[in-house]
Amino acid sequence: MSSQVQIATRKGLFQLERNSDGWKIQRHDFPGENVSMVLHDPRDHTTYAALNHGHFGVKLHRSSDAGESWEECTVPVYPEGAKKAADPFTENAEPKPASLSEIWSLEPGGADQPNRLWCGTIPGGLFRSDDRGSSWQLVDSLWDLPERLKWFGGGKDDPGIHSICVHPENSQNVAVAISCGGVWVTEDDGMSWTCKAEGLRAEYMPPDLAHDPNIQDAHRMVQSPTQPDHFWIQHHNGVFKTTDGAQSWQEVTGIQPSVFGFAVAVHPQRPETAWFAPGVKDECRIPVDGRFVISRTTDGGSTSEVLSNGLPGEHSYDIVYRHALDIDETGECLAVGSTTGNFWITEDGGDSWQTISTSLPPIHCVRFVKS
């Protein structure tokens, strides 16, 4: 069972550790700074923290000694002349220069790519580093697709790449999910891309566009590490899964109390088991009936259980962002953090939950430190 969790928040990066007394906050790095993403790379035990200073822009720091010291590395830079899509809501809008506004996802490459990192950004860029973040290259093959100009922001002003899934057995195969731009897959290490969002459904679009793969708002996508043809998506208006490597997606309607949410986690060994943090759909974005719960399915979404033991029973208005629900390598330990600064852990797959803190800053990302 993992014994460390990293929590990226609006006011810094926290590290939680489990010892004989239970889970305790042990470190607080970058106090006061907005940390949008954290990654512990199990290949060399480097931790990366993406900061968003607001006035001073987006920065990336790395630590090779578990946070004792940090060094600033470079951030992805859009090439000169790179343009965002024109604002679809402004008449006669011209495309504007692309400029980094957020690091929204950060993932290690495969075991055979020791220095490779993938970074998903707003506005809608995928970047690759082959030197641990010392330099970055925009993946032109994805950026230059004409379909990219149809992507649009969902909750953010611009589209963003929030999920990057590197195939555990073939690092040339990478799937990314975009709000709002569907799912795109490369099978040749980023040389070419195919939209693989057939079956996703966007009920917020005009009916004749509802099944357009390229505009789907996948809130979060996760891949089974042991059966990598299985993916789950928490989508804007539902839950979807694929069992054939994203060739086709099926809508899952059995998640209670709601199919709306942002986060999803999949069991490391059992791809039919997944967890969600449901809420009232997008007009409201609060827990159903003010009761914060986690949903679990163990049968591929045919049925679900509402897990509430140890979670607040009433008047809770916590929302869990895309990256703020994580699972460890055993599949028994899950951690979840909310926009209200509440943080819970379960060590029995969600049957019971411990409250670790009720007073953290708004939580963007929760990740176990995995070996």
Partner 1 sequence: MVRVVFTANLERHLSCPEETVSGTTVREALEAVFETQQQLRGYILDDQSRLRQHMVIFVDGQTIVDRVNLSDSISPDSEIYVMQALSGG
Residues in the chain: 371
Least distance to partner 1, CB of residue 70, Å: 11
**CB 269 to partner 1: min, Å:** 42
CB of 131 to partner 1, least distance (A): 17
Contact indicator for 86, 93 with CB cutoff of 8 Å? yes
Residues 94-153 that bind partner 1 (CB under 8 A): 97, 99-100
Any long-range contacts for 343-352 (C-beta under 8 Å, 24+ apart)? 343/7, 343/16, 344/310, 344/311, 345/5, 345/23, 346/307, 346/310, 347/1, 349/296, 350/275, 350/294, 350/296, 350/307, 351/307, 351/309, 352/309, 352/310
Among the listed residues 1, 22, 44, 53, the single contact to partner 1 using CB under 8 A: 53
Q: How many CB atoms lie within 10 A of CB 359?
A: 8
Residue 56 or residue 89: which is nearer to partner 1 going by CB?
56
Among 35, 32, 19, 30, CA closest to 337: 35
Q: How far apart are CA 43 and CA 369, in angstroms?
A: 11
In order, the DSSP letters of 338-362 are: -TTS-EEEESSTTSS-EEEES-PPP
Supply the minimum distance, in Å, between the C-beta of residue 4 and partner 1: 26
Stretch that binds partner 1, among 93-101, 226-234, 288-296, 350-358 (CB under 8 A): 93-101
Amino acid at 314: E
**Residue 76 vs 238, nearer CB to partner 1:** 76
Query: In whole angstroms, how close is the CB of 359 to partner 1 at the nearest point?
Result: 17
Candidate residues 22, 42, 57, 313; the one interacting with partner 1 per rule CB under 8 A: 57
Residue among 66 and 77 whose Cβ is closer to partner 1: 77
Residue whose CB is less far from partner 1, 139 or 294: 139
Q: How far is the CB of 153 from partner 1 (least distance, A)?
A: 17
| CB 34, min distance to partner 1, A | 10
Output the six-digit token pair for 226.
């042991």
Least Cβ distance, residue 77 to partner 1 (angstroms): 4
Residue tagged 């019971």 (tokens): 352
Q: x/- contact string, 61-90, with partner 1 (CB under 8 A)?
A: -----------x--x-xx-x----------
Residue 336 CB, shortest distance to partner 1, in Å, is 24
Per-residue string for binding with partner 1, 218-237, x by CB under 8 A? --------------------
| Cβ distance to partner 1 smaller for residue 42 or 95 | 95
Cβ atoms of residues 185 and 193 within 8 Å: yes
Q: Interface with partner 1 includes 207 (CB under 8 A)?
A: no
Complex with partner 1: residue 5 or 60, whichever CB lies closer: 60
Cα–Cα distance, 152 to 287 (Å, whole number): 26
Indicate the residue among 121 and 223 with the shorter CB distance to partner 1: 121
- The smaller minimum CB distance to partner 1, of residues 99 and 137, is found at 99
User: Which C-beta is closer to partner 1: that of 30 or that of 193?
Assistant: 30
Closest of 303, 295, 193, 299 to residue 246, by C-alpha:
193
How many amino acids of this chain bind partner 1 (CB under 8 A)? 14
Q: Which letter does DSSP use for residue 84 in this model?
A: P
Q: Which contacts (CB < 8 Å, 24+ apart) does range 339-344 have?
A: 339/363, 340/316, 341/9, 342/292, 342/312, 342/316, 342/318, 343/7, 343/16, 344/310, 344/311
Peptide bond into 257 cis (omega under 30): yes
Do residues 253 and 269 lie in contact, with contact meaning Cβ atoms separated by under 8 Å? no
Interface positions with partner 1 (CB under 8 A) = 53-57, 59, 72, 75, 77-78, 80, 97, 99-100
